[in-house]
Amino acid sequence: MKKLLTACLSAVLWLCSAAYAQETPQTQLQRITLTAGIHQIDTQVALTPEQHQIGLMYRSEMPQGEGMIFVFQAPSKQCFWMKNTLLPLTAAFIADDGTIVNLEDMKPQTTDSHCSAKPVRFVLEMNQGWFARKGIKPGFKLAGRIFSN
């Protein structure tokens, strides 16, 4: 009986820790610096499907000069939603050469789809309003080692 109780308790603790891990923001991803004209962006890099799925979920704040770039294997139509994302964000859908194809403002905690206007391999999420305050619009070219320039 004691072994069964210990096994059950271990299972419950494991399930609780797994649930907690799933609701924890990912903040330890690889980082790179991108530039938008004179502006530098400290960017977390989401490479894997698991990192893409979590994205910026569960974050209660993010510094203004910080973002997350999602890198996909090949250009395709990319669509994003904001389930479990607490911050209002803008998604920049970006071509291989760093050119912004389109920008989409996204409301927190919604499942509305926000899609690229054409196939892209990169999506950069920033705090909503960051691009507008910097005068960055579709057609603007970002720079960084991640893009083929």
pLDDT at 8: 35
Residue type present at position 112: D
For the cut 80, the answer to whether the pLDDT of residue 10 exceeds it is no
Pick from 147, 144, 36, 31: nearest CA to 90: 36
Residue 4's pLDDT band (cuts 50, 70, 90):
very low
DSSP secondary structure letter of residue 113: -
pLDDT at 22: 60
pTM: 0.84
pLDDT at 56: 97
DSSP secondary structure letter of residue 48: S
Mean pLDDT of 93-105: 98
- Give the distance between the most distant pair of CA atoms in the chain: 67
For the cut 80, the answer to whether the pLDDT of residue 55 exceeds it is yes
Domains of the chain, first to last: 27-133 (2.60.120.1140)
Mean pLDDT of 30-57: 97
* CA angle at 149 for the pair 89 and 116, rounded to the nearest 5°: 35
